[in-house]
Amino acid sequence: MTWFTIQAAYAGYFANRVSVEAETLEEALEKAIVLANQDPNWKSVDHCSSTFVDACCMGPDEDPWNGDKSLPIPARFTEKGEPPVVTLTGPRPPGGVEVTGGTVRIRFVDPAATVTTEVSDPPPPPCNKPVVTVRPRPDRAPDVEVAGGKAIVRVQGWEGIDNAQ
């Protein structure tokens, strides 16, 4: 039997509501962060996340943050959890879309138009709402890009060439 040292955690949330005047949203957000950090009236919002693993290593009473000893943590034990799975089915974009295990924003880009929609299979993992962009290549096969998080993208039944003229 092997010993492991594991740091488990959960996120406890505190909030501080402030009002600011600004010309733009970005300016307002910058001012709000500065003002909130200067104000001592932070309150617990009594909301916390599920327990997750921050760091781990082999051996009893070790420092799990020691880069030489730290072990990789499987996604399902992390704060963000498993990434959602996106399944795209042909014959070509947009085709069918199925999402399991989370929430993603799907963006279909075509010379005629760009369509973006959010697809979800609750509950979404915290802090992970990736954008999956699907563009047709010249041969009409899908070109898939994931940004703003993690997603597993499966492409099934896509015809490499669009024969419908």
User: What is the domain partition of the chain in residue ranges?
Assistant: 4-77, 85-156
CA distance 153 to 131: 11
pLDDT recorded at residue 23: 92
Provide the whole-model pTM.
0.50
Which residue pairs from 67-76 have beta carbons closer than 8 angstroms and sit at least 24 positions apart in sequence?
Answer: 71/4, 75/150
Condensed to tens digits (0 to 9), the pLDDT of residues 108-157 reads 777 776 767 777 665 555 566 677 777 777 776 777 787 777 777 777 66
pLDDT recorded at residue 52: 87
Q: Which of 29-33, 76-80, 114-118, 146-150 bottoms out in mean pLDDT, i.e. has the lowest? A: 114-118
Mean pLDDT of 60-77: 87
CB-CB contact of 140 with 164 (8 Å):
no
